[in-house]
A and B are shown apart, each in its own frame.
Chain A
Amino acid sequence: MVIFEESKRGRRGVQLPESGVPESELDVEDHLIRPEEEPGLPEVTEPQVVRHFIRLSRLNYSVDTGFYPLGSCTMKYNPKVHEFIVAAPHFTHLHPYQRQEDVQGALRLMYELQEVLCEITGMDAFTLQPAAGAHGELTGMLMVRKFFEVRGENNRRKVLIPDSAHGTNPASAVMAGFEVVEIKSGEDGLVDLNELRKNVGGDTAALMLTNPNTLGLFEKEILEISEMIHDAGALLYYDGANLNAIMGYARPGDMGFDIVHLNLHKTFSTPHGMGGPGSGPVGVKAFLKEFLPVPVIVKDGERYRMDYDLKHSIGKVRSFYANFTVLLKAYAYILSMGGEGLKRVSQLAVLNANYLKTLLSRRYKLKYDHPCMHEFVLDNEWLTKNLGVKTLDIAKRLLDKGFHAPTIYFPLIVHEAMMVEPTETETKDTLDAFARAMFEILDEAERAPEHLKEAPLTTPVSRFDEVAASRHPEVAYRRKEVAGS
């Protein structure tokens, strides 16, 4: 049921404060006046609103409800105290156009976050502006573009991207005006240096690389890759979605990456919020500093200041400065963990992944059977072939067993992929239970594979006909029904 169905003309859920201001006539042309019966918003009371959204909340699976091993998304626990910290008016009620003396605390925290992100990644400067990972990618690729423009190397139109990369990588490169060249992964799931060598050249602007990659494998030839890219005069871009695997062990800056983006909503525990807001800061090596979007936060003596004076800045990628409260949560997390804590995070994330991988590999198949980093990918093609059971069926049955499904059908190079990322905040018992559930599903598949097609059976709704939903899109509650108007 949608909230519109509870609407009755004349109800309301808010009483506004008295302002004592006299009414004025709307002084606009008649044809610009909104009719009285519009806009068709629901008319309900506060208790109705509360019941409605509480009911909706209970239909959701979330990290706080249970295990959410969604690969490439780092669904770790999100500390509650961070919500408390950022709810204070001295953070929520700051106007972006207040004078800088009045927002020194905000600027200081942003500055400090820039600094710690430099330390964690081995980069020299950061912008905190991008709102998400993909936004960071676009920011980074526009910097690549501007960099070569300034150098007069306008022929560098190509961006190389492994076929295992996340979809945002090629989409971002194209938005920045580049042509994408897909690099086929080797048999081992890693970048194939020969393939790379064949494609890199004077027209290459950059290689976008995720390391560990989306298969959860560390690109061990990263230094050779870096050398090859740089020898060709191109730049190396780091998709930092998987940083959770390597903190305190290695840094993209030391690997030779020139630009990195991070997903604060993954590695640094800010809640995913059903799909955001997140934050996707971008770090660069010193030679690219002048290309960052404006403003960056700088420190002059004891004072913090927004600096708009960057010679080659790509401009602005969003209004104002950043997803400020998201930044604060990430910084709070970094302070809570400290250097040793973040290293411990990566250790346990990798331990959990390898442990679960070992358990599952007793009966499931892995596409690439090397030690993994923070996540691993199962390949269920054999099940499809032998029993007609698809990864989708296993995912749906997992919902019945009380788990969220892993990421499925990504990366695209594994056809029946199931990408599992347990994260470090899960107990061994949870991983054991998950493995048991996976084995039960396998037993069911062997016994009666057709039953799995009906899963899930215990959720409030069952599988949807998504094809029909896209063929005849119904994207809004029908207008004539709204608010009884």
Chain B
Amino acid sequence: MLRYLPHTEEEIKEMLETIGVDSIDELFQMIPERLRISSLDLGKPMDEYNLVNYFRNIGESNVSMDKLRVFRGAGIYNHFIPYVVYNLASRTEFLTAYTPYQPEVSQGTLTFMFEFQTMICELTGMEVANSSMYDGASAMAEAILMAARLKNRFKAYVAESVHPEYIQVAKTYCMGPGIELELMPFDETTGRVDLKDVDFTDGEKPAALVVGYPNFFGVIEDLRAIRTALPDDVLLIVVANPLALALYRAPGDLGADIVVGDGQPLGIPPQFGGPSFGFFATRMKYVRQMPGRIVGKARDLKGREGYVMILQTREQHIRRHRATSNICTNHAHSALMATVYMSLMGRKGLKEVAKRCHDGAHYLARELISSLGGKLVFNAPFFHEFLIRLEMDTKYMDEKLREKGFLGPLPIVDFYPRFGDDVALFCVTELNTIDEMNELVNILEAIKNGDI
């Protein structure tokens, strides 16, 4: 316990004398007697050796993804993370600094944030990105709130094919301002959002439509067609997998107004779902309604270039109840990991990772169709996830695959009961080898034939 606390008895005595009190307890005299407790019941302080063992022993009862062959994604993905990402992120000058309130001694933080914002703008095709949000789901929710403010409307459409947890979070966030969320169906054949029966002139207009890119089913939405079908004054919010944006046209080039998403695929380990970070990008004309911290270029007294936090009058510490958001602490350190990751990957590397994910998923889909008679649920183009009907109980399949050392595809029935219990959401990344895919297909065949 004392290893972090530097005071000697002597010093304490001197300090108390200086203050002019007799004991430390005297300093707590403002706390009413009735409230005082004498101690907390938390056990004895643990030394470092036992602490490490405690966590290791409990941790080892987890079966981690590195011990499994992983074909599960659904929002958290198993990608290769170069060691340098961890190494640089562990620099304690990054880890133990806080928000760059004093830019003169925070140029490391501010410069990387500027780079991060640039990279997010490059990926999304937008003009301005903030320096991070908590996660993809809260970023999407904040995008809806921002659209409602911009349009002064209390309704938004969300494609039903957006990640179900993101929709739940959006619902929670929308309770506050009283924004009504209406779910937009997907086309049963393509899996793409289906706006043909939506009459935008009928009733209250939505502030925005939210679609996934790819959506939860892995399907690449035709953003251009969606934009065309939307009235001009309805904002298009795109929830993107940032890795997919290396292969697919930037949403900004296809008419998106706000692009958000979760940065976990960019060099952040799965970590049981967090922390990762949310990214949030939009057009410059909307910047004053953006949530979160934004870094911009500045000049110092001597004319030297550097970076500072800008447009802070949007934020809670200045604007208080009129702020664009309550966000203060964000996920800067995760954004740093992504910045290092994207720097290492570069344009070509990121494209290659994305392409390998795509190629693997398409190879596996073909094998499941040809060897197993699997039927893709949707016929629209997909990135690295796909829904397929396998004519087997996917819960049983899941159990059997786990016995064989796989974290298999996700049975979709818990998320969308309407697909039934024989449909699963597969995910392939650059880490899945052809051999393990072939083995997976063999096991599934055995399950299907009743051999397992």
Contact = CB atoms under 8 A, between A and B. Distances in A.
Interface in A313-331: 314-326, 328
Contacts of B327: 132, 134-135
A238 to B, nearest CB: 13
B58 A109 contact: yes
B15 A335 contact: no
B92 A64 contact: yes
Contact of B363 (A22, A347, A355, A459): A22
Contacts of A334: 42
A460 B316 CA distance: 29
Interface in B323-380: 323, 325-334, 336, 340, 342-353, 355-356, 358-360, 362-363
A255 B109 CA distance: 39
A85 B65 contact: no
Contacts of A94: 62, 64-65, 270-272
A482 B122 contact: yes
A217 B30 contact: yes
Contacts of B44: 338, 340
Interface in B140-169: 145, 163, 165-166, 168-169
Interface in B114-152: 114-115, 117-119, 121-123, 127-129, 131-132, 134-138, 145
Interface string A87-105: 1111111111111001111
Contacts of B362: 24, 27
B62 A102 contact: yes
A21 B112 CA distance: 35
Given A274-B332, A462-B104, A473-B287, A78 B122 contact: no
* Interface residue tally on A, bucketed by range: 35 or more
A277 B334 contact: yes
A112 B361 CA distance: 39
B262 interface: yes
Interface in B416-432: 430-432
Contact of A293 (B172, B277, B309): B172
Of listed B135, B309, B343, residue having the most chain A CB within 10 A: B343
Contact of B320 (A75, A81, A167, A246): A167
A290 interface: no
A454 B300 CA distance: 11
A382 interface: no
Contacts of A272: 96-99, 329
A413 interface: no
B272 A324 contact: yes
A352 B27 CA distance: 11
A183 to B, nearest CB: 13
B273 A60 contact: no
A63 to B, nearest CB: 4
Given A63-B97, A274-B97, A355-B15, A336 B272 contact: no
Interface stretch (A44-52, A192-200, A229-237, A439-447): A44-52
A180 B321 contact: yes
B269 A53 contact: no
Contacts of A326: 275
Contact of A21 (B318, B344, B434): B434
A186 interface: no
* Interface residue tally on B, bucketed by range: 35 or more
Chain A, interface SS category: loop
A133 interface: yes
Contacts of B271: 91-92, 94, 324-325
Nearest to B246: A39
Given A16-B353, A24-B358, A142-B175, A340 B128 contact: no
A171 B104 contact: no
Contact of A79 (B4, B56, B328): B4
A34 B250 contact: yes
A83 B176 CA distance: 37
Contacts of A405: 101-102
Interface in B74-112: 74-76, 78, 80, 82, 84, 86-88, 90-109, 111-112
A104 B62 contact: yes
Contacts of B295: 475
A201 interface: no
A466 B298 CA distance: 7
A298 interface: no
Interface string A30-71: 011110011111111010011011111111111111001010
Interface in B18-46: 18-21, 24, 26-32, 34-46
Contacts of A348: 5, 7
A20 B254 CA distance: 34
Contacts of A116: 42
Given A39-B245, A63-B97, A464 B138 contact: no
Given A106-B62, A132-B329, A171-B321, A248 B37 contact: yes
Contacts of B238: none
A371 interface: yes
Contacts of B97: 60-63, 272-274
Contacts of B29: 371
B258 interface: no
Contact of A465 (B39, B51, B298): B298
B61 interface: yes
A95 B329 contact: no
A283 interface: no
Nearest to B362: A24
Contact of A255 (B35, B46, B100, B222): B35
Interface string A467-485: 0111001111101001101
Contacts of B5: 344-345, 348, 424-425
A474 B296 contact: yes
B308 interface: yes
7 contacts: A13-B346, A64-B93, A91-B64, A93-B269, A167-B318, A475-B287, A475-B296
Complex A-B, nearest 10 residue pairs according to Cβ-Cβ distance, in ascending order? A320-B273, A273-B333, A96-B273, A277-B275, A171-B326, A13-B344, A170-B321, A469-B298, A338-B45, A339-B40
Given A16-B356, A273-B332, A275-B100, 14 more contacts: A12-B348, A13-B349, A41-B345, A83-B95, A97-B72, A105-B58, A167-B318, A174-B323, A255-B35, A335-B54, A354-B21, A371-B29, A405-B101, A461-B300
